[in-house]
Structure 1
Amino acid sequence: MEKQHSKGFPLSHVLGFLLSLVLTFAAVGVALKTDLPVKTIVWIIGSLAIVQAALQLYMFMHMNEGEDKKSNTVNILFAFFIAIVTVAGSIWVMSFGM
């Protein structure tokens, strides 16, 4: 039997959108308005990006919902694995030309 979804105002989506905007503008502010070393700026922006990705998974992709939370976790871990392999393989090919 299917569950009924409420058709009310999507407060969690609006809140997630606003928090994503705040994180994006924080990254822009760090990049453009601070005199920090470039390495520090990159680490801060990367950290904000990870927080924003987790926020979007939670708020927009409904990772906290569903009957089988274990499969959600496995799917996310597999997606991270594929992303790491793709990025590492791209860097390897661009660096060594293989």
Structure 2
Amino acid sequence: MNAHSGHAGHDHDHGHHDEDEGGHGTLKGYVTGFVLAAILTAIPFWLVMDKVFPSSRTTALVILAFAAVQIVVHIVYFLHLDARSESGWNMLALIFTLVLVVITLSGSIWIMYHLNSNMMPVSTHDMRNMP
């Protein structure tokens, strides 16, 4: 009995899966992801530099939208996560992580906002009128 007889039926084609089968991406996929990421970076830069929108709030919301799209591009083209990879467990873990990050960030911002508005130091005018 040789050393490889215990691996009967084992796939010896390590790391040579097609992109559709959950393997590593192709050069075309990486270049596509890079081009999309560069475009999704250049457009918000242009929006800010040329002051396309009169309101800074509108500019910030558009930049956040571009950032969300860029996150999706990175996840699909560079991390190769989709609903099919590992029976969807990777995507489920990613969604769970995103929910926790949103809860943590929104909770932190909420707490800091309320601390700022409720715990502001007393102004000098109010200090002079204190007994």
Normalising by the smaller structure, the TM-score range is: 0.7 to 0.9
* Deviations 1:20-70, CA, capped at 9 Å, x for gaps: 01100111011111331212111110110010000100011111353312x
Cα RMSD for the two superposed structures? 2.4
Structure 2 unaligned runs (5+)? 1-9, 17-23, 120-131
Decide whether the 8 Å contact of 2:44 with 2:63 is kept in 1. yes
Q: CA deviation at 1:11?
A: 2.3
Q: CA deviation at 1:72?
A: 2.2
Question: Hey, what does 2:87 align to over in structure 1?
Answer: 68
Aligned partners of 1:52 and 1:8: how far apart in 2? 18
Judge which range, 17-26 or 27-36, deviates more. Answer: 27-36
Structure 1 unaligned runs (5+)? none
Question: Hey, what does 1:46 align to over in structure 2?
Answer: 64
Higher percent of residues as helix: 1
Aligned partners of 1:77 and 1:39: how far apart in 2? 27
User: RCO (CA 8 Å, sep 6+): is it higher in 1 or 2?
Assistant: 1
Percent identical among aligned pairs is: 25
